[in-house]
Amino acid sequence: MRVDLKPGRDFAPRAGHPWIFSGAIARIEDGAAAGAIADVYGADGRLLGRGTWSPKTSIAIRMLTRGDEPVDAAFVRRRLAAALRWRESVRGSNAARLVNGEGDRLPGVVVDRYGDFLVAQFLTAGAERLKPWVIEALEALCAPRGIFERSEGNVRRAEGLAPSTGVLAGAEPPPDVIIEESGRRHRVDVRGGQKTGFFLDQRPNRDLVAMLADGRRVLNLFAYTGAFAIAAAQGGAAHVTSVESSAAAILHAEESWFLNGYDPDRGTFVRDDVFTFLRGDLPSFDLVILDPPPFARRRTEHDRALAGYKDVNLQAFRQTERDALVMTFSCSQHVDADAFHDAVTAAAADAKRECQLLARLGPGLDHPQALAHAQGRYLKGLLLRVTEVYADARATTEARRETPDAAPARRHHATP
């Protein structure tokens, strides 16, 4: 099928942006099936490249090539081989992202390795079209024990595709796959856990926590299955308090704690709403980690998400004293790094905390992103050091802690 762009609307694809929005299209062939390979032409009649057609979303074309390159099984194998060559440089774990969608020039295709198993996601109509070629190439290049599909979520729903899960090739993975990451062991539910089972993108930030945690009292908020808690314990934290609203996830976190052989007295696992917990009667902490789920899953939720980020960071700052560290993240695609930075800055100011910015954080090297694709930079984080707590802030914090009706946290200690 052929797609012609409007005058002046070909700058983004020429610059390497992988998306063409429907408003940029001047003409398109009638009757093209979802996922069809489209030849994309500029207004000057020159071929820009080839991409896949998505008729049900505003992202009409996801580019695969720049120039006249056939899209076939050999093309997919070359792309996968290139992605795998880079992952050979990313060592220290038997789990990694092997294919990162647009970042590896295969839009909508995500492949994660967990030991001997691969978990694949095909999130767009175009990715569905490529699926047989992807599976064939993965079997040839990786020789996994099995490939399990986890194609689900908002992107796929927007494309008009039903969820698809199950074995694509080889054996079905067990209920829990044990992975190792920088000397830490984790149980991963690849069949039912969030995303493909584990937040692989946070690996370098977990390594950073392990480096910084020695002797610190750590508060791990939105803990999920406790990966940051394990990193803090590995780094010598004096005590780690992990807070998570999901009963299944917090139990999983405790089990991972014992899997790594850590002292039960060094870990407290709390099932509670984080916002409620932070308004309870709490001690101060030396390292606070905030890794919440997306607060904005669509553009219309942008302002509400920023309010949420400000609120949760404000309450977290109030649990810190001078020289404490705060590591805070946003994984909302619709909240950019500058807006997130501004929300955290406002939270620190309202909490009467003066902070140093030590580092801007993001995903690991196995999560490459196309340089021109700002929308792909979903994970952004800040590492901050509290350098001053103003006197009126201390008085306010103490008064709040002494209020009789302050909500107590619902907590339990890790037990074997």
Active site residues: 331
Pairing of β 2-5 and β 37-41: parallel
Q: Quickly count: other Cβ atoms within 10 Å of residue 261's Cβ.
A: 8
Single-letter amino acid code for the residue at 413:
H
Q: Which residues contact 275 (CB under 8 A, 6 or more apart)?
A: 311, 312, 315
Burial of 90 (0-12, 13-18, 19+ CB in 10 A): middle
First to last CA, the chain: 61
- How far is the CA of 44 from the CAs of 26, 30, 60, 64, 69, in angstroms? 12, 21, 20, 20, 19
The length of the chain, given as a count of residues: 416
Element (H, E) at 131: helix 125-142
For residue 185, the cross-strand partners are 180
| Helical H segments across 143-295, by residue range | 154-158, 203-212, 227-234, 247-259, 274-278
Token digits of residue 162: 């039903």
